[in-house]
Amino acid sequence: MVYPVSVKNYPAPDFNKKEILRYAGVKENISEINALIDECIKELDGKLTYKVCYSEYPVKIISNDIDLTFTAAISKDLAKNLKNCNRFILFAATVGLGVDRLIAKYNALSPTKALIFQAIGAERIESLCDLFNNYIKKEYKAVKPRFSAGYGDLSIEIQKDIFTALNCSKNIGVALNNSLLMSPSKSVTAIIGITNDSDCANENGCFSCKKTDCEFRRENEN
């Protein structure tokens, strides 16, 4: 059976300066840093795109063995995340190469500015994923927190199968190299479980992940 892939393009979501500061590792609201963030946001104007491709699949779970239809996985953490789900949304999202180019430009010219662009890029891709997540919630009502390759005990190797299933390069211009790094770097792939059990839909996605140094980890989840 062929599982069609859909593509969505979004307008730019509002910038969340609090999140940008968090990704930059800045704990205090400093006027000079805020001014630099404003300067970087202005420089990014027109250089980002907000694209998502996605498909819906059935899932079967026996203990920690998971049949994701497009591939199989062994993962205690993903099995827990997908508990009471018989289908899920697989998606990939990107904000494009614009921020990568500015990070590369300022790595030598201004490391501080490069850091701010890194933080803005992290905030942008998470904001895009949140937009898509909210769209899926409206469509399906009760969904699980998104779960990515490399979270918890889910092998990063599954990225290869995700890219094949979604044809990410063709659909949204995202490539995967031999080290399993994505280009553009501010890109995400993830699974969103669909459940009929609303009591299961509020589990914390980051809580189940042991990667405490992840730049996308939410506040108060360490």
pLDDT at 191 over 80: yes
pLDDT tens for each residue of 36-76: 999 999 999 999 999 999 999 999 999 999 999 999 999 99
Under DSSP, is residue 108 helix (H, G, I), strand (E, B) or coil? helix
pLDDT grade, residue 28 (50/70/90)? confident
> What are the angstrom distances between the C-alpha of 196 and each of 84, 114, 141, 143, 199?
7, 44, 8, 8, 9
Percent of the chain with pLDDT over 90: 83
Strand order in the sheet with 6-9: 6-9, 51-58, 85-94, 187-195
Count other C-beta atoms under 10 Å from residue 220's C-beta: 8
Q: Token pair for residue 196?
A: 């009929």
Residues 168-193: what's their mean pLDDT? 98
Q: Model's pTM, two decimal places?
A: 0.88
pLDDT tens for each residue of 77-126: 999 999 999 999 999 999 999 999 999 999 999 999 999 999 999 999 99
CATH number, domain 6-208: 3.40.109.40
pLDDT at 222 over 60: no
pLDDT at 221 over 50: no
Q: Of the given ranges (5-9, 48-52, 121-125, 141-145), which has the lowest mean pLDDT?
A: 141-145
Q: What's the pLDDT at 198?
A: 59
Burial class (CB in 10 A: 0-12, 13-18, 19+), 27: exposed
DSSP letters, 35-69, are HHHHHHHHHHTT----EEEEEEEE-EEETTEEE-S
- Please state the length of the chain: 222
Kindly calculate the radius of gyration of the chain based on its CA atoms and give it in whole angstroms: 18
pLDDT tens for each residue of 197-212: 755 545 444 444 455 5
- Mean pLDDT rounded to a whole number for the chain: 90
Burial class (CB in 10 A: 0-12, 13-18, 19+), 186: buried
